Amino acid sequence: IRIDNLTLQGGTVHFEDRHLSTPFKATMFDLGGRVTGLASDPAMKADVDLRGRLENHSPLNITGTVNPLSEELFADLAVRFREIDLTPMSPYSGTFIGYLIAKGKLNLELDYKIDEGRIDADNRIIIDQLTLGDRVESDQATSLPVSLAIALLKDRSGVIDLDVPISGRLDDPDFSIAGAVWTIIRNLLVKAATSPFSLLAAMVGGDEDFSSVAFEPGTAVFVAGEKEKLTKLADILGKRPGVTLEISGFIDPARDPEAYRLAELRKMVRAEKWRRLEKAGKAPAEPDAVEVSAGEYPDLLTRVYKDADFPRPRNFIGLLKKLPVPEMEKLLLANIKAGPEEMAGLAKERALAVRAELERLNPDIAAQLFLVEPAAVDTPPEKGSGGRVAFAIKTR
């Protein structure tokens, strides 16, 4: 069989899907073009060039080569669909995601190759300004957080740009093109629900865990390397203005109290040196900037011990006993409070440190950052050390 030229001109195609609770209808106008060189010879490939307009507006172009008449189907086609208005797609969105579509446009760049029963396809799906409308009841609608997924996927310009490659065999009864595309999109929704930070990391080409940052025991000092996470997170938030970041501080009840007492003692010693430097006019702006050498430490510690306001050992005439450094440290540490109030304060200090660092890295995201006080500061929402700040992603 050989057909040299097949010409289409002024064609109209009506489509109607009655499987939905609200039927979907669409019409393709001005369908035309040419298929050249159709033949049943497997070695011959027909050239395809077709054009049309969906609802008299959105242009469709199909170009490439095919051989539908041979025993083994061959196709190498590029399909381009531009400026498709998404509001008429509400019968589908209402059925499958439980929302009507208030606004949005769709562009499709589809490249399909079928050879020897195998299909390999690249589906580039570009959705501009997608806005969900009213919620509708549907037994088939997903329970996954669609609004959060949309907010995570939208860039700063309101564009969702998805690359959805699929492959499979046409003779596989379990394979369908629509099913394969939906599986990938559904996996994105699942990831948005169960692991939004992994989804964000994947979108910027990494696999780093952005769900929390860790702190040194007893302090609001970042563990080495954790600030790099915040650098990337600040960049991601800047590109995703539709989401907010909830920031919650936590403590490790096994490690933080004792480490907190030790850190507080070090602060007292630095503060004592800072006061001496201040009298000499040599003090830095903050006591935390003071460094204490091993040689200075015993004298400074003794002054801190003498100024303490808890009962201390005295001699027979009522003067403070002179104690070795370890004994003074032991008594001072035992009288530094590290109870629930202090631990709650430490957790909040950590949360504030994270917010300050994110705002320093990207001042534009300040409105996206929210401090959230957890129900219990010693119970982080994940396994591992509690001495951290945990994050949660929400929609605006």
User: d(Cα 106, Cα 51) in Å, to the nearest integer?
Assistant: 18
Q: Could you tell me if 346 and 260 are in contact, meaning their C-beta atoms sit under 8 angstroms apart?
A: yes
User: d(Cα 276, Cα 165) in Å, to the nearest integer?
Assistant: 68
- 256: buried, middle or exposed (CB in 10 Å: 19+, 13-18, 0-12)? buried
Q: CA-CA distances (angstroms) from residue 263 to 128, 162, 216, 288, 322?
A: 52, 49, 10, 11, 24
pLDDT (tens digit, 9 = 90+) per residue, 83-134? 999 999 998 889 888 999 999 999 999 999 999 889 999 999 999 999 999 9
- pLDDT confidence of residue 392: 92
Phi, psi of 380 (to 5 degrees): -70, 155
Task: Give pTM, 2 decimals.
Answer: 0.78
Q: Could you tell me if 351 and 230 are in contact, meaning their C-beta atoms sit under 8 angstroms apart?
A: no
Percent of the chain with pLDDT over 90: 61
3-state secondary structure of 276: helix
User: d(Cα 36, Cα 8) in Å, to the nearest integer?
Assistant: 11
pLDDT (tens digit, 9 = 90+) per residue, 260-280? 999 999 999 999 999 999 999
Please report the domains of the chain, with CATH numbers, ordered by start residue.
2-194 (no CATH), 196-396 (3.30.1330.60)
User: d(Cα 338, Cα 331) in Å, to the nearest integer?
Assistant: 14
Write out the two tokens for 55: 């609802």
Across residues 9-14, what is the average pLDDT?
92
pLDDT (tens digit, 9 = 90+) per residue, 303-357? 999 999 999 999 888 888 899 999 999 999 999 999 999 999 999 999 999 999 9
Percent of the chain with pLDDT over 70: 98
